Amino acid sequence: PSIVRLKDSGRDGDLTFVVLEWIDGGDLESFMASSGGAIADDRLIQLLCALADAVAAIHAAGWLHRDLKPANVLLRSDGIPVLVDFGAALPIGESATLETEVTDGYGAPEQYLTDAREGPWTDVYGLGAIAYRALCGRAPLSAPARLRGEAMPLAMDHAGIRDEALCRAADWALALEGRKRPQTVEDWRAALSISVEHRASAERAPAGAA
């Protein structure tokens, strides 16, 4: 439900075209900009889990999305997020060309480096960047700037105000080195589930419990 559907494709002379389903809703970036970036923790975790499931399905089909960002997430009228824009997608294991565009703040470091390998952890970075944008009110610092040594505030700086496990999951996904991030989207989603379970336990705890 969180991947845009292909309705048709064909060729008109030298032009190849695709027809995608119409999503009746705005994009996540516009929503956050108009609302001051505020998304309640419960809603944000729900949204991120849905996106993680969608990206896991993309990976299971043998592809990387490679351009995960709020502007490429549309929100249906019922609140379900939908991933769009597969223009940067590549089969897992295939090398990107130098002409491939990368979105600063959301592109993983390896997408800027000619000798670095991309994999599921590359899309994990994009998911973490979406979480960071929602938690911190701004996009992460661009990967090239971080690689040059420029400091970026952590999502964990907002822990206490925002859900701690959620902040920790965002920072984990944004590790500069790919091997230090979750290696699969499922691993990252499990970290989000810890936050869901913790919040559910807190709601069930009797009044006055420690």
Active site residues: 67
Sequence-ordered alpha helix ranges (H) in the chain: 28-34, 41-60, 120-136, 143-147, 164-173, 185-204
169-176, Cβ contacts within 8 angstroms, sequence gap of 24 or more? 169/128, 169/131, 169/195, 170/128, 170/131, 170/132, 170/135, 171/128, 172/128, 173/124, 173/125, 173/127, 173/128, 173/129, 173/131, 174/125, 174/128, 174/129, 174/132, 174/140, 176/109, 176/143, 176/146, 176/147
DSSP state of 162: B
